[in-house]
Chain A
Amino acid sequence: MKKRSLMSLPPRPRPHEEFLQYLVHEDLKLSYERKRRLAIRKIRKQFRAKQTEIVEKLRRGLKEDDDHRKVLNACIYPFARGDVPGYFFVRAAPLAEMNLENLDFLIVCLNPPRSGEVKVAIFGEAKGPINDPDRVLQEMKGRIDVLEQNWDKARRMYLSEEMPREFVVGVLASDAHEMSKSAIRKGGGRIIWSVDFSSNHILSLDRPDLDRPDRTVRETMMHKNHSLNQILNKLATSATLYTFFEQSHIVAKLRILTAVDKLKEDGTFMFNDLQTLVKEALDYVLDESVIRRVTSIIIEWGHNIGFVAEVVPGHFKIKSRYKNAADREREIENLWINYRLSQEANLLVDAEVANLQTSFESERAKRPTLPEILPSETLPK
């Protein structure tokens, strides 16, 4: 659920016909068209050579998102299951309404289970497989700083009242130990949740060993409410809970289309059918405009990649020869990859053509036409 960096957009070439008209001179036109053809052929050839690499990168991105969602689901699940008395999942991506760099989830202890325990807001970040725990903590610090800077607003928006904050990093069990070590080195203050997907899926607090000289640091890596520390011990959890989150990969969102037209005798579905599913997928979102926006995005992308067609206004159809969701899922992934490939190829072609146009513009500048040289009043009417 990272913010994807926007690709810097290369220059767009002028439309072909318009540029030909601008060139005026027939020899220039012919030369431009020939060089343009060659340039496009060259770019397409170069692109084909690295296509496999691009496809792998696209698939990797999708897998990272899937892995991330599974860990995030595993962090939330026990709270939705009612396994942690007094604590409730409030929402994913808190601060989304403010368009700010986001943490992944907010869980609140509203009814402290034991006397002496307090209300707490737990902000958390979920991570799929990680290589560099220090970087994860660094990134998280950035996000926490943003939260702190906007705390008054965030508090008014989600919590109403002031309450202490705790910061959790949910990681795979295989990364939990390194993550803890890194957090201790950085002075603590982060609580590590370990998600174990081997065998039965479980969620645990990665308990720091307190019998160490740096005990005071390690103590900050436990929850204030002891009851939560106790309960987070091999708690049954699930990799599946939310089909997608607001900031999930577009393919994760498009997967919902595999089931949207089930039980529809004529095979068409309406905006509302999809909206109902999106509402279920983002059941914690109260703002209806968010639900509508996400629904529109799914339809728009479904249309872009050629998986959804609007047969008559307001009535959509899945353009697939498959009825079953598994084949449809594969089709969505492939269509999305093809779409992205053609997008990338077009960007490169555009950049090359734009360069070519620049060089022809200087050629053209050297060869002005008569009307361009003479003042207009001297020309015969």
Chain B
Amino acid sequence: MKIPEGQYTLDSFVQYLADNEGRVFGGGERKQWLKVYLVYARREWGLLFKDFPQTNLGDVRKISMQMGSVAKPVEFYVYEWSPGFLLFFTSSRREDYEKTLRKFIRLNRGITEVWIPPDLLNIVRNRLLSEYEATVYSFISRRSRLSKTAANIRPDFDKRLSYTGEDATEVLKEVANFYGVVPKSISFRAGTDKLQITNNGMLLLYSVNQRSVQILMDFLRTVTERQRKVREVSGQLKRETKTMQIGDLEFRTPVVVPGIITLQSRKLDRYVVERFFGHDNMDSRESSFEVETEEIEPREFSFIDTSIKEGSFSFSASVVDDIKGTMFGLNGSVDQMVLVPMHRTTFESFVRFYKLVIESLDEEAKFDVPPTQTQTA
């Protein structure tokens, strides 16, 4: 993806892509596709990428990432959609993304992929079907056996389903009803255009033109509007200290801002929480699927120092983010979990933990910062 130097706004940037598709993405057998990755980042995101060569192109910044075994730098065009949301435009192959930006995201604090919960992905899909007369031609769906999503057939099994067919629009709905599987990746056809959307915030356009650019903008607006709150709440959770004075003495006192996840459509019990804590060894369970095209995510969170109380049900644990090393406390009852930041606090651990709750416990769970006692009074 080669863009001439200049000063771009987001609009002029995508307009350039649409107007010069052949020049930017090549043609024929060697044609490349546009991928847009939607990423949550810390506010001072420039610092994250300070070690990579970059060029300012107005509102857009070109960043060349070369990491590990990648032969030549992979180029990304970054645009700050709104504080905390970044767009990465690239035409590089998926494997190159995995080896550069995705690896960078996993190895650094302050950045994570945006995640699109199932109900939002439904909204996005329905908009595409109704507004753009799109049809689904391929999808991948999954189900965790802990999931509360309704399933008519054998709900207690983990499932993964990959389907391709011109009737995929209907099949996607049918298997959702029958097997309770939730889409992770959907490929659409809209007129002569094809595009793919994944639940980790990627949109792939096979061709860039006025219509696909409109779809892209529509997608970005819908997703960021809904997912802004998760980013904001996650960023508010804090663990700090405040230096205080007693007479001529100093002392340091902790200041903690917790988060609260409230479950809407299920009640927790010992059975569910034990499984959520992974006491039935979810690692081996996850890896039992042999999937070539899709990377299998190892379990991302560990629960240590766990305690589950019977009777009036409650539980507590220390949660370790096995990717980023963040540690936070978890106190729960039948319908809520309080998250107490403890170590290496960074917003994306909470984004991903909330995702885990949505995916494995309750699709309708809400995430907030609880008011303090004085605020309540």
Which residues from chain A sit less than 8 Å from chain B, CB to CB? 66, 70, 73, 76-85, 88-91, 108, 110, 157-161, 197-201, 231, 235-236, 238-243, 252, 255-256, 258-260, 262-263, 265, 277, 280-281, 283-286, 323-329
Contacts and interface: CB of A to CB of B under 8 A. Distances in A.
B107 A241 contact: no
B244 interface: yes
Interface of B: 107-109, 239, 241, 244, 246-258, 277-278, 283, 298-299, 302-305, 307, 309, 311-314, 316-318, 320-331, 333-334, 336, 338, 340, 342-344, 370, 372-374
Contacts of A258: 302, 304, 320
14 contacts: A80-B256, A81-B256, A82-B255, A161-B247, A200-B314, A201-B338, A240-B340, A241-B254, A280-B239, A280-B343, A284-B254, A326-B278, A326-B303, A329-B305
A198 B316 CA distance: 11
Given A161-B247, A199-B334, A324-B322, A70 B316 contact: yes
A231 B373 contact: yes
Contacts, number: 180
Nearest to A285: B252
A243 B323 CA distance: 19
Given A197-B316, A262-B321, A326-B304, A238 B329 contact: yes
A252 B342 CA distance: 14
A80 B253 contact: yes
Nearest to A280: B343
A259 B327 contact: yes
Contacts of A277: 343-344
Contact of B246 (A66, A160, A281, A285): A160
Contacts of A329: 302, 304-305
A199 B333 contact: yes
Contacts of B324: 262-263
A277 B305 CA distance: 17
A57 to B, nearest CB: 20
Given A158-B249, A241-B256, A277-B343, 17 more contacts: A77-B340, A83-B372, A198-B314, A199-B312, A199-B334, A200-B331, A201-B314, A236-B338, A238-B258, A239-B329, A240-B305, A240-B318, A263-B323, A283-B252, A325-B322, A326-B277, A327-B302
A91 B251 contact: yes
A276 B242 CA distance: 17
Nearest to A252: B305
A285 B251 CA distance: 8
Nearest to B304: A329
Contacts of B247: 159-161
A258 B336 CA distance: 26
A265 B108 CA distance: 11
Shortest Cβ-Cβ A-B pairs, 5 listed: A240-B329, A160-B247, A262-B325, A198-B312, A325-B302
B325 A263 contact: yes
Contacts of B330: 240
Contacts of A82: 255, 372, 374
A239 B316 contact: yes
A94 to B, nearest CB: 11
Contacts of B323: 262-263
B210 to A, nearest CB: 43
Nearest to B251: A90
A263 B370 CA distance: 30
Contacts of B283: 324
A66 B318 CA distance: 12
B191 to A, nearest CB: 45
A324 B302 contact: yes
A134 to B, nearest CB: 27
A290 B59 CA distance: 49
A240 B322 contact: no
Contacts of B338: 201, 236, 238
A81 B314 contact: no
Contacts of B309: 197-198
B249 to A, nearest CB: 4
Q: Looking at B108, B109, B302, B328, which has the most chain A CB atoms within 10 Å of its CB?
A: B302
Contacts of A259: 320-321, 325-327, 343-344
Given A108-B246, A198-B314, A241-B340, A80 B307 contact: no
Given A81-B256, A236-B370, A284-B252, A255 B318 contact: yes
Contacts of B317: 240
B246 A239 contact: no
Contacts of B326: 259
A250 to B, nearest CB: 14
